């Protein structure tokens, strides 16, 4: 996954310090109760602590040292889980703090009427309500989210996006929304406030990244149910072991029943504490990774849904192709030299400031060595593009040079008494079929040839799409082009499907059709006319540069306004689920080794023959139990980085991914504890601790 600019070190000392303090604060039983697995450990810790004191006072079933040892490590287990969650939250908080620093309570100029020049009064930003009108002038901070109703200004949004280049915000159109906390650099804006205090985009972002309002996502709930069920199973397994052991003692006529301390130790080792302890950290870290990719998800649910996306709707322009078409070839009519065509084309485009026009000048210069001339020396008159003539060009030294779409040029020539040859018409047709836009160049009554304008497909995008295909995601290109052009570009970019001559209605219909087929659809959008489709899509990423309506309709906002970000978003969603799955598998697989450690130890006095199951050759029953408990606690801390970073996702298809993860986390989970417990046991034995 491509990492974004804002990544911070995994263990920032400041965050770690705060997390350590938070780990203790989180011992509040009400907070523990939220997680059934860790609550069980919590109760076990209290119980064993009590037993330790009981043993001190009256001499219990086990030595107080052993009981307190177990108890201490159970407390560590709880604290480590708290620490993992606090770390994830801390990283979010750090992000929130940097956001919050941009939100000072500024003085706003509240307008009596929503127009420029109306009288205004000073008001605190925190007193602004929805639909208030405000004036923001150059150098001032925009006090709240809003919609530009009048004016054009350049705005520095780096506080939100991290992008230093200013952006233009103007009334009407798709660039009308402004975010509180950004700064107007030039000119002025009249803004209609769209959010009440505490509900602004920034506020929502802060509360989301802080995890304060985090709700469990559907998948997390399902996993929690499974973990709770496993916890109940092990609770029953351990509690019934007491009567079983009592029977065994009576039957064997030797030894003493299993002690409560050992039972609690066994229980904590068996219940899925690894995943239970890291589950909430994984969820928070998923949101955090989204934020690091400069995407604000409105809910954890949306992040999770991103992993399930089956269909990506991508706008052609800006996502698949570079924003603009470029001239790539001059195709002269028969009897016209290509240099003559290039020269005419360049002359016609000299005053054309559109990117297409500039690309004609550049092509003529690069390919035919024609330098841009100073047209003022030639008494040139420029003919700008108008909606009526639909051509542009130049009148120079008595020559009338025009360029434009075929039918417009045909009309121009006809006015001068000429006509276009069939051969040239065929050229035009051919260019269109290739996905290009043909511009015909004419001089007087004669068509000189065709400029081939091409949509330039972004480098590497084809590879990206085939990667998506391997992930099982279908890509659909949305374009306003005609089907002919769309087909050619779709083929070049390697998308699976396209929607040509797309209207907002057609987009909405397409999304609904995919959804009716049971597929999950993701799309990006920025304009107000995208809002219905954004609202309908399962994962809808609004560009931060887009309108307020688009942002409201989406469930994520991309601060970088980068349409290819969707791919990254999908990967983050998948990572989130994979991390949960991998750690669940690891956690359950761990139990096998723990049985081999604890069962022989627990019944050492009743059935000494069970020591044959002590395959790890652990030193003594008490060191065996200690080692299992210590391993169980330490593994949580060791896996915190994995929980925060996430299991890496590779686009290799589901079967391969499962095989690899099963080998690493399943087989690994089976083997690692054998090694770990043995090592800890050797350490304990060497220190003479037990």
Q: Confirm or reject binding of residue 663 to other proteins (CB under 8 A).
A: no
Instruction: Mark the segment that binds other proteins (CB under 8 A) among 165-173, 346-354, 381-389, 571-579.
Output: 571-579
Q: Which one of residues 355, 517, 617, 641 is an interface residue with other proteins (CB under 8 A)? A: 517
Q: Is 168 helix (H, G, I), strand (E, B) or coil?
A: strand
Q: Confirm or reject binding of residue 251 to other proteins (CB under 8 A).
A: yes
Q: Confirm or reject binding of residue 618 to other proteins (CB under 8 A).
A: no
Q: Confirm or reject binding of residue 461 to other proteins (CB under 8 A).
A: no
Q: Confirm or reject binding of residue 226 to other proteins (CB under 8 A).
A: yes
Catalytic residue among 315, 343, 591, 681: 315
- The candidate with the shortest Cα–Cα distance to 189, out of 279, 83, 109, 90, is 109
State which residue, 142 or 642, has the beta carbon closest to other proteins.
642
Q: Confirm or reject binding of residue 46 to other proteins (CB under 8 A).
A: no
Q: Can you tell me the distance from the alpha carbon of 590 to that of 674, in angstroms, rounded to the nearest whole number?
A: 9
Q: Can you tell me the distance from the alpha carbon of 690 to that of 678, in angstroms, rounded to the nearest whole number?
A: 14
Q: Please check whether residue 452 is in contact with residue 428, taking contact to mean a CB–CB distance below 8 angstroms.
A: no
- What 328-332 contacts at long range (C-beta under 8 Å, 24+ apart), as own/partner pairs, is 328/363, 328/436, 328/452, 328/453, 328/454, 329/363, 329/451, 329/452, 330/363, 330/364, 330/367, 330/449, 330/450, 330/451, 330/452, 331/427, 331/431, 331/449, 331/450, 331/451, 331/452, 332/448, 332/449
Q: Confirm or reject binding of residue 21 to other proteins (CB under 8 A).
A: no
315 counts as catalytic? yes
Residue 472 CB, nearest distance to other proteins (Å)? 3
Q: Which one of residues 308, 356, 395, 552 is an interface residue with other proteins (CB under 8 A)? A: 308
Residue 307 CB, nearest distance to other proteins (Å)? 5
Residue 659 CB, nearest distance to other proteins (Å)? 6
Locate 343 and state its tokens: 């020269």
| Non-local CB neighbours of 31 within 8 Å, separated by 6+ positions | none
Q: How far is CA 346 from the centre of its chain?
A: 44
State which residue, 538 or 560, has the beta carbon closest to other proteins.
538
Q: Which one of residues 124, 222, 337, 675 is an interface residue with other proteins (CB under 8 A)? A: 222
Locate 316 and state its tokens: 């052609």
Q: Can you tell me the distance from the alpha carbon of 607 to that of 484, in angstroms, rounded to the nearest whole number?
A: 82
Q: Which one of residues 83, 234, 465, 631 is an interface residue with other proteins (CB under 8 A)? A: 234
Residue 625 CB, nearest distance to other proteins (Å)? 14
State which residue, 102 or 614, has the beta carbon closest to other proteins.
614
For residues 205, 209, 210, 212, the Cα torsion angle rounded to the nearest 10 degrees is 80
Instruction: Mark the segment that binds other proteins (CB under 8 A) among 118-126, 357-365, 542-550, 589-597.
Output: 589-597
418-457 residues near other proteins, rule: CB under 8 A? none
Q: Which one of residues 373, 390, 470, 645 is an interface residue with other proteins (CB under 8 A)? A: 470
3-state helix, strand, coil in the chain (%, to 5): 55, 15, 30
Q: Confirm or reject binding of residue 247 to other proteins (CB under 8 A).
A: yes
Q: Please check whether residue 596 is in contact with residue 615, taking contact to mean a CB–CB distance below 8 angstroms.
A: yes
262-291 residues near other proteins, rule: CB under 8 A? 270
Q: Can you tell me the distance from the alpha carbon of 279 to that of 640, in angstroms, rounded to the nearest whole number?
A: 10
CB atoms within 10 A of CB 226: 13
Residue 408 CB, nearest distance to other proteins (Å)? 45
Q: Which one of residues 10, 337, 484, 609 is an interface residue with other proteins (CB under 8 A)? A: 609
Instruction: Mark the segment that binds other proteins (CB under 8 A) among 103-111, 317-325, 484-492, 652-660.
Output: 652-660
Q: Can you tell me the distance from the alpha carbon of 22 to that of 84, in angstroms, rounded to the nearest whole number?
A: 10
State which residue, 19 or 297, has the beta carbon closest to other proteins.
297
* Total residues interacting with other proteins, rule: CB under 8 A: 77
State which residue, 631 or 665, has the beta carbon closest to other proteins.
665
Instruction: Mark the segment that binds other proteins (CB under 8 A) among 362-370, 554-562, 614-622, 660-668.
Output: 660-668
Residues with catalytic roles: 315
């Amino acid at each position: 996954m491509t990492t974004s600019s804002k990544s911070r070190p995994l263990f920032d000392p400041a965050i770690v310090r705060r997390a350590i303090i938070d780990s203790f604060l989180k011992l509040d039983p009400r907070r523990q109760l939220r997680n059934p697995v860790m609550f069980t450990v919590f109760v076990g810790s209290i119980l064993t602590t009590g037993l330790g004191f009981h043993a001190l006072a009256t001499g219990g079933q086990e030595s107080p040292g052993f009981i307190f040892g177990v108890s201490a490590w159970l407390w560590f287990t709880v604290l480590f889980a708290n620490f993992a969650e606090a770390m994830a939250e801390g990283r979010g908080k750090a992000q929130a703090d940097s956001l919050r620093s941009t939100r000072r309570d500024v003085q706003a100029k509240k307008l009596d009427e929503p127009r420029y020049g109306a009288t205004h009064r000073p008001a605190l930003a925190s007193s602004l309500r929805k639909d208030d009108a405000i004036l923001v002038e150059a150098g001032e901070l925009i006090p709240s989210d809003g919609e530009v109703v009048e004016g054009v200004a350049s705005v520095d949004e780096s506080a939100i996006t991290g992008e230093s280049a200013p952006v233009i915000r103007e009334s009407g159109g798709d660039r009308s929304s402004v975010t509180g906390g950004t700064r107007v650099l030039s000119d002025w804006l009249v803004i209609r406030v769209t959010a009440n205090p505490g509900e602004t985009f920034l506020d929502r972002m802060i509360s989301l990244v802080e995890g304060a309002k985090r709700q469990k996502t559907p998948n997390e709930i399902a996993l929690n149910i499974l973990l709770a069920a496993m916890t109940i199973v092990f609770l029953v397994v351990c509690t019934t072991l007491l009567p079983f052991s009592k029977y065994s003692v009576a039957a064997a006529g030797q030894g003493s029943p299993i002690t409560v301390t050992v039972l609690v130790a066994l229980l904590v080792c068996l219940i899925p504490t690894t995943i239970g302890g890291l589950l909430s950290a994984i969820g928070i870290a998923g949101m955090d990774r989204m934020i690091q990719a400069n995407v604000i998800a409105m809910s954890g649910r949306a992040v999770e849904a991103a992993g399930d996306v089956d269909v990506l709707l991508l706008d052609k322009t800006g996502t698949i192709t570079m924003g603009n078409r470029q001239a790539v070839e001059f195709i002269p009519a028969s009897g016209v030299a290509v240099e003559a065509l290039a020269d005419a084309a360049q002359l016609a485009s000299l005053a054309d400031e559109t990117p297409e026009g500039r690309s004609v000048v550049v092509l003529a210069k690069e390919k035919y060595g024609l330098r841009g001339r100073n047209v003022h020396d030639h008494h040139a008159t420029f003919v700008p593009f108008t909606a009526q003539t639909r051509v542009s060009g130049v009148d120079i030294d008595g020559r009338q040079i025009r360029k434009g779409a075929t039918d417009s040029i045909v009309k121009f020539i006809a006015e001068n008494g000429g006509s276009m040859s069939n051969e040239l018409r065929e050229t035009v047709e051919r260019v269109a079929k290739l996905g290009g836009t043909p511009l015909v160049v004419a001089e007087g009554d004669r068509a000189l040839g065709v400029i081939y304008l091409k949509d330039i497909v972004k480098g590497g995008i084809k590879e990206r799409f085939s990667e998506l295909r391997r992930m099982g995601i279908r890509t659909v290109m949305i374009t306003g082009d005609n089907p002919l052009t769309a087909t050619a570009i779709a083929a070049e970019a390697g998308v699976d499907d396209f929607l040509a001559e797309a209207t907002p209605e057609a987009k909405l219909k397409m999304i609904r059709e995919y959804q009716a087929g049971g597929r999950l659809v993701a799309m990006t959008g920025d304009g107000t006319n995208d809002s219905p489709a954004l609202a309908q899509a399962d994962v809808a990423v609004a560009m931060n540069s887009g309108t307020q309506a688009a942002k409201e309709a989406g469930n994520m906002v991309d601060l970088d306004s980068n349409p290819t970000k969707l791919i990254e978003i999908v990967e983050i969603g998948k990572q989130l689920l994979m991390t949960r799955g991998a750690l669940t598998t690891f956690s359950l697989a761990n139990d096998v080794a723990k049985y081999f450690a604890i069962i022989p130890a627990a019944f050492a006095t009743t059935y000494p023959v069970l020591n044959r199951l002590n395959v790890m050759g652990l030193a003594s029953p008490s060191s065996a139990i200690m080692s299992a408990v210590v391993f169980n606690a330490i593994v949580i801390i060791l896996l915190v980085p994995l929980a925060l970073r996430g299991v890496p996702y590779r686009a290799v298809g589901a079967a391969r991914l499962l095989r690899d993860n099963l080998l690493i986390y399943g087989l690994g989970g089976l083997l690692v504890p054998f090694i770990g417990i043995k090592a800890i046991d050797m350490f304990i034995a060497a220190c003479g601790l037990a």
